[in-house]
Structures are given as C-alpha cells and as structure tokens.
Structure 1
C-alpha cells in the first residue's frame, strides 16, 4: 500500500514538472517575441517652424469711462413739481430736466422789484440834491448802498428761481430716474445720471518699464466680452505724468469712438497698444505643443537611417521649448527650436519619444493668424 502511494506521488511530481517546463518554454518564447516586436508607425501631421514678423503689442486690462459724465443733482432744497424727462432718453445741453416749487420765491419777487424801483427813484433824486450841494456825499453813498442792496435781493430771488429749474449741463443720454413727483429734494440729492458716451475713454495701466515705448497718438485696440469678435480702434490721448508708487504702474487713457453707443461707461475691456515696430518670431501651430507643469515640449520629426535588419524611416524626438506669446492659431517659440525643423502639429498627447511615424498631411487643419469661427 505504501509503495503504491509513493509511485502515485512520484508520477504527480513528474507531471507537474513537465507542465512547468512546457509553460516556462512558452513564456520565454513570448518574452523573446515581445522584445523583438516593433509597433506600427503612427500617422501624424506636421508643420515647419518658420520665422515671421508679428505686431508688437502691449496688452492690459482696463475700464471704460464717459468723456463727460455726471449725476445731475438738486442745487437747492425744494419740492418736485415737474419731471420733464424720460429715463434713458437723449437730451441736449440746456434741456429742462426737473422743476422744483418756486411759488414762495415768485411771491417775493414783485416786492423786491418794487423796492428796486423805489430805491432807483430815490437815488436819482438824491443825485440831483448832491449836485446842488443840499446833501453830503456820505448821505448819497448811503442811498446808493440801499439801491444796490435792493438790486442784489431781487437778483438773489431770480437766481433761486432759476436754480430750481434743473437743466442738462451737456448733451448726452440719461439714466434711470431717481426722484418722484412731489418728493422733497435735499440739497445735493441725486436726480438722474447723464453720460455723453460717444466718444468714450478707455483707462488702463501698464508697467513702468513700458513707459519709453509709449506716446500720445499711438493706436490701441479695445475688445470686450459684451461685443464678442469685435475690435474697436482708438488712440492714446493722455499719459499720467506720475507712476503709482504702490504698483509701479503708469495710468493711460485712450479715446475710442463709440457709434451706436455699444460701449457703456463702467464696462471691463481688454486694451492692446500697437507699437510702431514688429517683432521677429519663430512660429509653430499652438496645437503642436504638449503643455505640462514642468515644461512644455514638442515632437520633432527626424529621419532614421537604415540599420541592419531595419528600414529607414521617421522617428520622433521630444524637445523641450520655451514659449512666447500667442497669435491666432500660432505660438512663438523663444528657445529650444530652430528654423526649418519639422514638428508634429496635432495629436501630440498620444505620442512618445523615439516613436516611429508616417507623415500624412492630407487631413492637416489650416492654421491662420486671424482665425474665424465657422458655423457648420
């Protein structure tokens, strides 16, 4: 019985050893095949790094401000008896906006004018008496002062009546009405906003190191998300004579035409100052760059010479680059790439260093400096 068990165990051991040996040979064969396996070349599109000249721009963010803008307010206290404007309407200089109650001033005005007439008659009479030397010069001067006081009182009442008729100080567009009929206005209380929006100012800041490149009359381009795809051109009209001591920035103001009043005061805007010189740059498509936190890179296409047992072809070399500014579909390369080198232009995220490739540009997209979105 014991002999039979030993023979059975020995047979099992030999069987297992045989199976293990066969599997070991299979695995070694698979490893050998895997080490000799060459993946098929990846089909890629390419672009050539080329030199170009781009406009030299100084970019900044700013805000829009009306050339003339004010919140019209009450100069004197009084009750509102008439509102002569509609919210959002356009007015001309001198148009009446609001009337305040002037009944008490108008009631006092006839008495003041009568006092002026009486004082004038007395003054004429006393002038004759002075010439006849009936009265002294001091008495005449006293009557003359009385006349002037009466005139001043009448003029003061007329001025009060005029000030209680609120007029537009300049032409422009009105905002939302802030008062109601019958309301008692206090001195300085707001009535309505008045803005002259055409043209309009664009205020922005640039670093102090750019000061030598700036000048009045230089062209600017203003864009805002309120007008997508639209660029409005203007000119620099003022440069602040001092630099902000806290930020070391200099404040500039550009005047921009605003037909149709598409731009409104208070809007956020992007401003680009166009310098009179152009910058030489080395450009590649922006889609050719593999962006990464540690460094950006591109894949350069190189010729692979024929080796023993292998054919000639094209392989990739990953090259780290330092980028400059973007313009349309292109990006400038500051360093890491030479003119004339060919780089992969699309799909770089799926590539690796040393990979074999085949170039096929039949489906390559058209890269432009001023691309437009097409509605397909």
Structure 2
C-alpha cells in the first residue's frame, strides 16, 4: 500500500470516531433532560405534621403565706455557774475535790488553816469562865446587900454599886460569848462546801497556797439540764412564751428544748432580744447550738417547682401558663415575682388565677404561643 493510501485510511477512521463520540454525548444529554422533566412533573410527597409537644403541667393553688425555717446561733450554758471561794483570807491546807467530779450539796470542797483560831477560842472560853465567876460574886453580894439594907445595916448606895457590878459582869460575859461566836463563824467559814449539786469545772488553787478573801478556788457547774441563750429579732421573740417547746441543734443533732424566759430588754450592740431555753438532753457548756424556728410570712402566692421558672430580660422571671383554644392548649408567658425559695421549690406571686395551669418542667424548650399536650396537673 502506498503512503498516500495509508494517510487517507487514517483520516477516515478519525472522522468515524468523532461522529460516534458526538452521538453518545448528545444521547446522554437527551436522556438526562427527559429524566429531569419527569421528576419535575411528578406530584410532591406531603410529610405528616408533628403533633403537640407533651409537657408536664401543674395547677396553681394560692396560699395565704409561707413558712420560713430560720436558725439562730447561741451558746450552751450551765444552769448555774459559780466561782466558789472563801470569805476569809488564809492558807489552803486541803483541796478535797478535783476537776470533773460530781459533788453533793454540803459536801466539803476545801479547808483553810485554822491553827490560829483554836487557841483563840480556848482563851475566850477561859475568859468567859472568869467573867461568869465575877458575875456570880456580884450576884451574891447584891443578895446580901438587899437583906442588910432591908434591916437598915447597909446604905442604898452600896446596894446600887453591887447591882451595877453584876450588870457589868453580865455584859462582859455577853461580849465574850460574841467573840466566841465570831471564832466559831470563822472556823465554819474555813471549810468550803458545795452550795448545790454540781460538777467541778476547774480547780484554781493548790494546797499550801495563800489566798485572799473572795479569791476563786473552784468553778462549780450545776448538774441541772443546761441552758441555751440566743439573741432573736424583737418581732420574732414576741412569738415565743415561757413553756413553749422548740428544737435546737447541737453538733448536727436535734434536741428538744423549752423556753425558760425572755429578757425584757434589747442588747445594745446587736439590738436583739435574748431568749433562754432549757435543753432537755445532755449538752456541754460552751458548745455552740442553733435554735430552729419556723416563721410564718403572711404573703399570698403559690408554690411551684424551680424548673417552672423561665428567665427573662434584666433579671425578670416568668412561667408558661396554658390557655385553652379550639386547637388545644396554647402556652402564654406570664410575668411573676419570686418571693422565697427553699432550694427545690419557689414561692411565686403573679397575675395567675386560682386553678390555673402552668408548665411545671423544662419551659425553655417550649416557645410562647406553641400548642402543647398537657400531662398531669
């Protein structure tokens, strides 16, 4: 085959391939157009609309007020606390009680040195005996003078002298007896005894120590039920009366208590009124305790769960109320005022009627004006 014939054959083949490719492309485009037209001409598929959102509701129950649990801190005190000491100065010879011991009324607690009082008492008794002898002599002399005067052998002046001598002797005896009694009192006061049933709180002196009059020797704590002193606001204190039963908390344990009395004045620093209570259970003086009181607040409103609140602008709050419509319950936002909360619940005030219904949970997922399906309430 010549070179010219070979070239003509190659050009014929290229023209045939070009025509085939063009035919394929035109046919594909036509098929796509037909398919698109059929899709556009088909009827649209309608989706089923979603039903009302189920929501948890509650009924508004108006209340005339609410109660607040308030706690006030105070300190446990002994029913009576006394710093026991001697009325006399002197040297301590014995301390007969130690810290923590329980003592009975009249039980000896400590002694002073009385060695100087014993000879003084003996000397006074001897002096009284001498004075009594002088008085007896004066009495006999007066008796004889009375007899002699009656017979005219003694003058009236001698009789008066005998009478006055007897009077001086008797006065001297009375003075000596008063001194003996004084020594007896000092001997008695040299022994310190418990004035009431008590526990020894602290021991402040030791044997051999010289003390002055009135210096504390032992701290005595009454064994009677302890007391709690608490400062209350004046308006709240007036709600309590002696004999009322209340609750106190000591170290996390609630104990019964009884109101003993209320102070008639206000504390100058805290402007509170002190209330003293008797704790009807063991407690240690010095412990911190809390008085638990329930205070009634006369403020109309209603209780709702915390989850019912919907936060608004600038710190405002609202709830979603339900309004009946022919299509179902529709949500309507209602502004409210939060009066009080106890953690899980809130006490609210707003323009809601008695028996009205509001959303009790998750109001943020429900838009105002949305139709909902009420559950509960």
TM-score, normalised on structure 2?
Answer: 0.62
Which of 189, 192, 198 lines up with 1:172 in the alignment? Answer: 198
Please list the CA deviations of residues 211-237 of structure 1 after superposition, one character each: whole Å capped at 9, or x if unmatched.
65443333332223x2x13132313x3
Shift of 1:335: 5.7
Partner of 1:270: 290
1:149 aligns with 2:175: yes
Which of 116, 138, 141 lines up with 1:104 in the alignment? Answer: 116
Number of residue pairs matched? Answer: 307
Partner of 2:262: 239
Q: How does 1:101-140 map to 2 (within 5 A)?
A: 101-132=113-144, 134=159, 135-140=161-166
The 1:315/1:289 distance shift into structure 2, 3 A limit, reads: closer
1:216 aligns with 2:239: no
Shift of 1:256: 3.0
Shift of 1:55: 6.3
Which of 263, 266, 283 lines up with 2:303 in the alignment? Answer: 283
Secondary structure at the aligned position of 1:145 is classed as helix
8 Å contact kept, 1:63–1:266: yes
Please list the CA deviations of residues 51-72 of structure 1 after superposition, one character each: whole Å capped at 9, or x if unmatched.
5686687764433332221111
The 1:175/1:107 distance shift into structure 2, 3 A limit, reads: same
Partner of 1:204: 230
Q: How does 1:253-332 map to 2 (within 5 A)?
A: 253-258=276-281, 261=282, 263-272=283-292, 282-285=302-305, 297=317, 300=320, 302=322, 317=333, 319-324=335-340, 326=342, 330-332=345-347
The 1:353/1:69 distance shift into structure 2, 3 A limit, reads: farther
Secondary structure at the aligned position of 1:82 is classed as strand
1:252 aligns with 2:275: yes
Shift of 1:193: 1.4
Shift of 1:92: 0.9
Q: Could you tell me how far apart the structure 1 residues matched to 2:198 and 2:265 are?
A: 32
Farther off after superposition, 102-111 or 278-287: 278-287
Partner of 2:185: 159
1:90 aligns with 2:89: no
8 Å contact kept, 2:227–2:279: yes
The 1:147/1:64 distance shift into structure 2, 3 A limit, reads: same
Gaps of 5+ in 1: 1-40, 362-376
8 Å contact kept, 1:282–1:339: no
Partner of 2:91: 79
The 1:305/1:154 distance shift into structure 2, 3 A limit, reads: same
Please list the CA deviations of residues 269-308 of structure 1 after superposition, one character each: whole Å capped at 9, or x if unmatched.
322457899998733456767999x85847547579899x
Q: Could you tell me how far apart the structure 2 residues matched to 1:291 and 1:188 are?
A: 69
Please list the CA deviations of residues 90-113 of structure 1 after superposition, one character each: whole Å capped at 9, or x if unmatched.
111111111222222223222222
The 1:313/1:336 distance shift into structure 2, 3 A limit, reads: closer
Q: Could you tell me how far apart the structure 1 residues matched to 2:334 and 2:202 are?
A: 61
Larger Rg: 2
Q: Could you tell me how far apart the structure 1 residues matched to 2:371 and 2:188 are?
A: 86
The 1:60/1:176 distance shift into structure 2, 3 A limit, reads: same
Partner of 1:64: 76
8 Å contact kept, 2:66–2:299: yes
Partner of 1:188: 214
Q: Could you tell me how far apart the structure 2 residues matched to 1:120 and 1:286 are?
A: 97
Aligned Cα root-mean-square deviation (Å): 4.5
Q: Could you tell me how far apart the structure 2 residues matched to 1:87 and 1:296 are?
A: 62
Shift of 1:248: 4.9
